[in-house]
């Protein structure tokens, strides 16, 4: 008997959306929907727009300059996906 395999979900931050789209196209899965924005005081807001419970989630977010901004966005996305 086969065990059910969790569905793969891929999300991206703002650092390299094109890379995430190419990865998704290569592996044949749609890019996940997430809202990423900044408050006027500079804080980052992330909302995962789909159900990810029970799925394997991958986040594509290079930490290229501006490194601090991209790294914080990645950490907030990881927290939102927990």
User: How does pLDDT run across 37-67, given as a tens digit for each residue?
Assistant: 999 998 999 999 999 999 999 999 999 999 9
Asked whether residue 3 is domain-assigned, the answer is: no
d(CA 37, CA 73): 10
Asked whether residue 1 is domain-assigned, the answer is: no
User: How does pLDDT run across 2-22, given as a tens digit for each residue?
Assistant: 555 668 999 999 999 999 999
Structural domain that includes position 66: 8-81
List Cβ neighbours of 33 (8 Å cut-off, separation of 6 or more).
48, 49, 50
Domain count, the chain: 1
Per-residue buried b or exposed e for 6-32, using 16+ beta carbons within 10 Å of the residue's own CB:
eeebbbbbebbeeebeebbeeeeeebb
pLDDT at position 52 is: 96
Measure Cα distances from 58 to 39, 40, 43 in Å.
25, 28, 23
Q: What CATH number should be reported for the domain holding residue 35?
A: 3.40.50.2020
- Model-wide pTM > 0.75: yes
């Amino acid at each position: 008997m086969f065990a059910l395999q969790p569905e793969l979900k891929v999300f991206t931050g703002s650092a390299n959306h094109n890379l995430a789209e190419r990865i998704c196209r290569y592996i044949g899965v749609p890019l996940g929907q997430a809202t990423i924005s900044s408050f006027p005081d500079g804080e980052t807001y992330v909302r995962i727009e789909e159900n990810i419970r029970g799925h394997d989630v991958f986040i594509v977010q290079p930490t290229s300059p501006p490194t601090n901004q991209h790294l914080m966005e990645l950490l907030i996305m990881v927290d939102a996906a927990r």
